[in-house]
Chain A
Amino acid sequence: DSGVTQTPKHLITATGQRVTLRCSPRSGDLSVYWYQQSLDQGLQFLIQYYNGEERAKGNILERFSAQQFPDLHSELNLSSLELGDSALYFCASSVGTTGELFFGEGSRLTVL
């Protein structure tokens, strides 16, 4: 158990819908990262937050947005969902802005 908690573990929804994925980092970690993992691709970096502020951005679509709240938990919002958005979404956290990342168990999103 990494100490990073993600909910929900599984989510099935339809195209065009909107979902929210939630992540609680390890106690004491200030950075939260979101990654997408599709079947045929490796882990793709989406976005990083540090202590409530956006720190780095990867290949995150405009339909996706995220935020980190004062209690350091983070949410990833996915809207206007397409079939291709079906993937495992991982949240990770780290103490600072560099160093080892600890991953949550992931949220498996299926878009039908």
Chain B
Amino acid sequence: GQNIDQPTEMTATEGAIVQINCTYQTSGFNGLFWYQQHAGEAPTFLSYNVLDGLEEKGRFSSFLSRSKGYSYLLLKELQMKDSASYLCAVNYGGATNKLIFGTGTLLAVQP
């Protein structure tokens, strides 16, 4: 079966750094996505990791270790607008996207 685990909720302070972890067990692996979703809105793309290592994009970075079935999303210089749900998704398909999403980590940024 396919399984993705991420913490349900996290709280952090404005200006700080937060790391959101994601572990997965899937029948295949063809990349890992991170999406941001504000309540009642569409998920928006943050990052895509296919190979091991760290991908940096502005205040957001994402890390992948395929051997450990592990990824994390690092958010720096937190802003109030970063309060949202962060979804980890694994593409376990081969020639076509078959994404399984985690239930998301609800991040609350406090002043």
* Residues on A with beta carbons closer than 8 Å to the beta carbon of B31: 98
Main secondary structure on A side of the interface with B: strand
* Residues on B with beta carbons closer than 8 Å to the beta carbon of A88: 40
The size bracket of the interface on A is: 20 to 34
Task: Specify which of B44, B93, B101 is in contact with A43 (CB 8 Å cutoff).
Answer: B101
Knowing A42-B102, A42-B103, A43-B87 are in contact, say whether A48-B97 is a contact too (CB < 8 A). Answer: yes
Q: How far is the CA of A50 from the CA of B91 in the complex (A)?
A: 17
Per-residue CB contact flags for chain A residues 1-27 toward chain B (1 = under 8 Å, else 0) read 010100000000000000000000000
* Residues on B with beta carbons closer than 8 Å to the beta carbon of A45: 98-101
Contact check, A56 vs B41: say whether CB atoms are below 8 A apart: no
Per-residue CB contact flags for chain A residues 38-68 toward chain B (1 = under 8 Å, else 0) read 0001111100101000011010000000000
Contact check, A106 vs B42: say whether CB atoms are below 8 A apart: yes
Q: Which residues of B does A touch, CB under 8 Å?
A: 30-31, 33, 35, 40-45, 48, 87, 89, 91, 93, 95-104
